[in-house]
Structure 1
Amino acid sequence: MGSQIAVPVKETFFISHGSPMLSIDDSLPARHFLKCFKQKVFTQKPNSILVISGHWETSEPTVSCITGLNDTIYDFYGFPEQMYQLKYQAPGAPKLAKRVKELLKSSGFNRVHEDNNRGLDHGAWVPLMLMYPEADIPVCQLSVQPEKDGTHHFNIGKALALLKEEGVLIVGSGSATHNMRALRDTAGVASWAMDFDNWLKESLVNGRYEDVNNYMTKAPCAKIAHPWPDHLYPLHVAMGAAGENAKAELIHHSWSNHALSYASYKFESQPK
């Protein structure tokens, strides 16, 4: 995706980005986890980064194709003013965008679009600002399709698996639980959130990916944990891109606001 020699990437990641407050709130353990990401979790510097964000919803797969610097999108409301001054101006990754489109089309996704104007939403720039604060790695985003299902997004991931061989880091950015109406400034964790979160962890670490694809019928409390699927589908893409026999590992876990899980996972490709 660039002039440097591609070093294959073995892992894909799902990051629960939680609240936009992650960008400034040092009391959130997930913030410290992400700030240590390139020192402790993934020490290789990728050629470029593909982010699948739960904050970009389209009817058909769409990839951002920016030739200059990515704009920073402030797609949140009512937060401290300092958050609207933050910028993450990583370079766009037009070569990666073209490659994403090519791979998807060759795998049967016949209608794939490019967006030449869209910058990075907070599902992308908030975690990336903590993970790679230098903003020196080209980034593009891929949308989710909320009217589709988990298998659709898993298959998108499978179609993109070759990107790892080309030195691309694939990051799904969403949330292990995501019911904004259920958030409270109270101690403890809602039982339904805990039940879904535990089921997701057990399913992933035991390789029950088909169950995760069909989480709406397999998981406890699925509809209350995810009233809309947009923030879970990035996980399906990361899971699919890692390979069918990939090993899942829980790499961070914390809670905020009574029901918001920051559970994050690594999917590591296994030798064939």
Structure 2
Amino acid sequence: MDGTEETIIKETFFISHGSPIMTIDESMEARKFLQGWKEKVYSKNPNSILVISAHWVTDEPTVNAVDCCDTIYDFRGFPPPMYQIKYPAPGSHDLAKRVQELLGASGFKSVHIDKKRGLDHGAWVPLMFMYPEADIPVCQLSVQSHLDGTYHYNMGRALAPLKDQGVLIIGSGSATHPSNATPSSLHGVAPWAAQFDDWLEEALTSGRYEDVNNCETKAPNWKTAHPWPEHFYPLHVAMGAAGENWKADLIHRSWHNDGIMSYSSYKFTST
């Protein structure tokens, strides 16, 4: 795509991006995991990257198409150096148009292209560690938090052909994302969070995608783990985009916010 030699990709990923403090906190295990991306997780250079970010919520699917992606600082109250970081990745008009076409052909009738929006921290924070050169074209796709997991899974299914064109599809959210009012754990990982995280791993690695799609009723402690669902739906897109038959692997697990925010991340491989 964009005139590059096409590479077939079999994997999609869900990355827990967590807090943007990762950009300056060198002690975080999730940061170290992302820094080792090319060496330990995925050595290929994709032709382009599509990120489904929890931090872009719209009424209808929207994909950005710009020449160069602005860095959006969609957070408040953090140290000033974080607002100086830039991730000037090129955009891809071709990829945005292809996303619009694939979703439209699968019944997503109102799919919009945004010609101004850059990358929010759900995209640029993980990418600055995964692909620090910022030389791979990137598009972002929004989520619709008023809909459900099955809707986002079907969105992913529609986007699966992109892998054959060398597009790396990444869902960026958080395995658990409790509200700011949720008490931190004083003794390691909070039991409710561990129970949810263990359920998610078991459901995914067992291939029980329907349970994950129906997380609102199947998952333990759902409303505590995700009082608002937008940080979970990128996982559904990545899972759906893996294709008909896929295998899920847990590729990272660590915790933040005193044991209530999970950074569990997954690879989905088509078989």
> Shared fold (TM-score greater than 0.5)?
yes
In the aligned structure 2, how far is the partner of 1:23 from the partner of 1:209?
32
Correspondence list, 1:56-67, <5 A: 56-66=56-66
- Report the Cα offset of residue 63 of structure 1: 0.4
The 1-side partners of 2:214 and 2:29 are apart by 30
Give the aligned residue type for 2:266: Y
**Contact residue 185 and residue 260 of structure 2 kept, 8 A:** no
Deviation at 1:59, TM superposition (A): 0.6
Aligned to 2:125: 126
CA distance in 2, matches of 1:183, 1:202: 26
Distance 1:195 1:94 in 2: 42
Aligned to 2:166: 167
8 A contact 2:201–2:250 mirrored in 1:
yes
1:184 Cα shift? 3.4
TM-fit CA distance, 1:180: 3.2
How far residue 244 of structure 1 moved from its aligned partner, in angstroms, is 2.9
- After alignment, is 181-190 or 46-55 more displaced? 181-190
User: Is the contact made by 1:183 and 1:260 (CA closer than 8 Å) also made in structure 2?
Assistant: no
Matching residue of 1:211: 211
Q: 1:187 to 1:161 in 2, by over 3 A?
A: same
Q: 2: distance between equivalents of 1:16 and 1:60?
A: 23
Q: In the TM superposition, what is the alpha-carbon distance from 1:39 to its structure 2 partner?
A: 1.5
Alpha-carbon deviations, 1:66-124, whole Å to 9, x = none? 1x210000000111110000000000111000000000000111010111111100000
1:268 aligns with 2:269: yes
Following superposition, the deviation at residue 185 of structure 1 comes to 7.9
Q: Which residue number in structure 1 is paired with residue 239 of structure 2?
A: 239
Deviation at 1:2, TM superposition (A): 1.9
- Structure 1, gaps ≥5 residues long: none
Identify the residue that residue 5 of structure 2 maps to in structure 1: 5
Counterpart residue number, 1:153: 152
Q: Which residue of 1 aligns with 2:177?
A: 178
Contact 1:92–1:138 under 8 Å retained in 2: yes
1:195 equivalent in alignment to 2:221: no
- 1:253 and 1:180 mapped to 2: Cα distance? 20
Give unpaired runs (5+ residues) of structure 2. none
Q: Which residue of 2 aligns with 1:112?
A: 111
Instruction: Please say if residues 160 and 240 of structure 2, whose CA atoms lie closer than 8 Å, have aligned partners that are also in contact.
Output: yes
Q: Distance in 1 between matches of 2:128 and 2:10?
A: 22
Question: Could you say what secondary structure the match of 1:180 adopts?
Answer: coil
User: CA–CA distance in 2 between the matches of 1:202 and 1:185?
Assistant: 23
2:269 & 2:185 partners in 1: Cα distance? 35
Distance 1:122 1:183 in 2: 25
Other-structure match for 1:250: 250
Q: TM-score w.r.t. structure 1 length?
A: 0.97
Quote how far apart the aligned CAs of 1:187 are.
Answer: 4.8
Aligned residue identity for 1:22: M
Q: Please tell me the root mean square deviation across aligned C-alpha atoms, in Å.
A: 1.0
Q: How many residues matched?
A: 269
Residue of structure 1 in register with 2:74 after alignment: 75
Q: Once the two structures are superposed, what CA deviation does each residue of 1:170-228 show, in whole Å capped at 9, x if it has no partner? A: 00000000013226385511111111111000000000000000001001000110001
Partner-residue secondary structure (3-state), 1:114: strand
